[in-house]
C-alpha cells in the first residue's frame, strides 16, 4: 500500500506543482516576452504530463478508497464530486484553452481536493 500512496502523492505533486510553476514563473515570463509557439509547446507538454498524473491519481485513489473503505465516508464523497468537477474543468480547458477562467477553476479545484485529501483517514 505504501507504493500506492507514494505514487498518489508524486502524481499530485506533479499535477499541483506544475500548475503552480506555470502560474508563478512561465506565464509571467511569457507575458513579458510572448512567443505563442513556445507557450503552446510548454502547455502541450505539461498537458500530457497532467493527463498522465490525473490517470495515476484516479487509479491510486480508487485503490486507496477501497483499501481504507472510504467510499461511503462523507468527506470522500465531497472529494469525489470535486474530482468529477475537476475532470470537467480540464476537459473544458482542453476544448477552450484560451479561457483563462478555466485554468483558475482547475487550480482552485485542485487545491480544494488536496486540502480534503489531507483530512482523509489513510
Give me the pLDDT at residue 43, please. 87
Give me the pLDDT at residue 88, please. 97
User: Is residue 121 scored above 90 in pLDDT?
Assistant: no
Please, are residues 54 and 87 in contact by the beta-carbon 8 Å criterion? Answer: yes
User: Is residue 112 scored above 90 in pLDDT?
Assistant: yes
Instruction: Please state, rounded to an integer, the average pLDDT across all residues of the chain.
Output: 94
| Number of domain units in the chain | 1
Question: Percentage of the chain surpassing pLDDT 70?
Answer: 100
User: How many Å apart are CA 49 and CA 36, to the nearest integer?
Assistant: 20
Q: What nine digits make up the cell of 15?
A: 499535477
Give me the pLDDT at residue 97, please. 87
Give me the pLDDT at residue 93, please. 92
User: How many Å apart are CA 34 and CA 2, to the nearest integer?
Assistant: 43
**Per-residue pLDDT tens for 10-69?**
999 999 999 999 989 998 998 898 999 998 899 889 999 999 999 999 999 999 999 999
**Per-residue pLDDT tens for 75-101?**
999 999 999 999 999 999 989 988 989
**Residue 35 domain boundaries:** 2-118
Amino acid at each position: 500500500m505504501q507504493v500506492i500512496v507514494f505514487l498518489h502523492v508524486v502524481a499530485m505533486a506533479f499535477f499541483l506543482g506544475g500548475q503552480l510553476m506555470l502560474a508563478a514563473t512561465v506565464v509571467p515570463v511569457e507575458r513579458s516576452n510572448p512567443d505563442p509557439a513556445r507557450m503552446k509547446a510548454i502547455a502541450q507538454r505539461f498537458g500530457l504530463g497532467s493527463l498522465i498524473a490525473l490517470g495515476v491519481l484516479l487509479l491510486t485513489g480508487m485503490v486507496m478508497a477501497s483499501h481504507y473503505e472510504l467510499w461511503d465516508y462523507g468527506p470522500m464523497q465531497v472529494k469525489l464530486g470535486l474530482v468529477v468537477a475537476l475532470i470537467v474543468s480540464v476537459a473544458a480547458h482542453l476544448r477552450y484553452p484560451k479561457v483563462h477562467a478555466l485554468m483558475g477553476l482547475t487550480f482552485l479545484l485542485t487545491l480544494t481536493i488536496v486540502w480534503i485529501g489531507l483530512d482523509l483517514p489513510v
